[in-house]
Amino acid sequence: MKRRFLNAIVLAFSVMDVTTLVAQDSVQKQIWPEMEIYYRINERIRLYSAFSGTRSNSEYTDGTAGLYGDFFFKPWLEKRRDKTQMTDSSAGYYWWFRLGYSYSDSPPNDKKKVVNTLETETNNSFLLPADIVLQSRNRLDWRWVNGDFQPIYRPRLKFIHNLRTEYLTFNVYAWSEYFFYLNDNSQDRLRIALGTVIKVLKVMDFETYFMHQFQNKQYVAPLNAIGLQMDFYFKNKHYQQSSTEK
């Protein structure tokens, strides 16, 4: 089963690479650097901050900063663990919520685009055969773009599988996300991605992925992006002690 899963990942990469070559001239290309910092307060509450940018044609086109709270609830399946989080685990919690705010702005020389977003989402995890985890996310972005209210509903399905060698702990994943622009469905778009998370240190992961956005008629251009992300995980001392005792 594990070999079949890996073969499927390789096949998907090949298909996406062919798609890229066919539409190479018309596809936008970007790099998405990001840093995420997590701070676990206790079993049920975690704080999370994110800082990201978009690099296109050797220039940064926007930057985003956000602060969020994660709220974990009782697991659906007793004595089962979510093995996909390798550093700061949401293990055992198959249902949790996120609430937060992010601010995005364009560079001073570009056309003004200020985005204020109140983000709400719910996450569920399901164990599949061969130790594959399916994560479903329902996210609603309450966005104000230059003062205009433009909400987006963003459902996503993500398949994750952990792998381990003698020297390396990592996972591979694939996800698909659809953007429903509730005020203007001509801007709707579908994105798919393949990536990996590598455990670097006890408190740090490195994540990289390839994302492809499909064209939506003449309204939404196709896009290829490479994501480069560093994740840092910290814990409250009291929570760390209680976790060690368990």
Structural domain count, the chain: 1
Is residue 203 within 8 A of residue 87, CB to CB? The reply is: yes
Sign of CA dihedral 21, 22, 25, 31: negative
Model pTM? 0.83
Quick one: which of 243, 207, 241 has its CA closest to 226?
Answer: 207
**How many residues in the chain?**
246
Read off the pLDDT of residues 204-244 as tens digits, 9 standing for 90 and up.
999 999 999 999 988 999 999 999 999 999 988 877 655 55
| Cβ contacts of 185 within 8 Å, gap of 6 or more | none
Domain contains 28: yes
Is residue 204 within 8 A of residue 174, CB to CB? The reply is: no
Domain contains 230: yes
**Integer Cα distance of 99 and 38 in angstroms:** 14
Element (H, E) at 238: helix 237-245
In percent, the amount of the chain with pLDDT more than 70 equals 79
Domain contains 124: yes
Q: How many CB atoms lie within 10 A of CB 72?
A: 19
Strand 152-164 with 132-145, pairing: antiparallel
Read off the pLDDT of residues 120-142 as tens digits, 9 standing for 90 and up.
999 988 888 888 989 999 999 99
- In the 8-state DSSP scheme, what is residue 80? -
Domain contains 123: yes
Q: What is the pLDDT of residue 81?
A: 58
Q: Label residue 160 exposed, middle or buried (CB < 10 Å: 0-12, 13-18, 19+).
A: buried
The DSSP bridge partners found for residue 30 are 225
What rounded mean pLDDT belongs to the chain? 84
Is residue 63 within 8 A of residue 46, CB to CB? The reply is: no
Q: What is the pLDDT of residue 42?
A: 87
Q: Which residues of the chain have pLDDT under 70?
A: 1-25, 74-93, 240-246
Read off the pLDDT of residues 210-221 as tens digits, 9 standing for 90 and up.
999 999 988 999
Quick one: which of 129, 173, 119 has its CA closest to 151?
Answer: 119
Quick one: which of 34, 51, 52, 21 has its CA closest to 224?
Answer: 21
Domain contains 206: no
**Residue numbers of the domain that contains 101:** 2-197+217-245
The DSSP bridge partners found for residue 199 are 205
Strand 152-164 with 223-235, pairing: unpaired
Domain contains 212: no
Amino acid letter for position 149: F
Which residue spans within 106-188 are E strands per DSSP? Answer: 115-128, 132-145, 148-149, 152-164, 169-181
Domain contains 88: yes
Domain contains 203: no
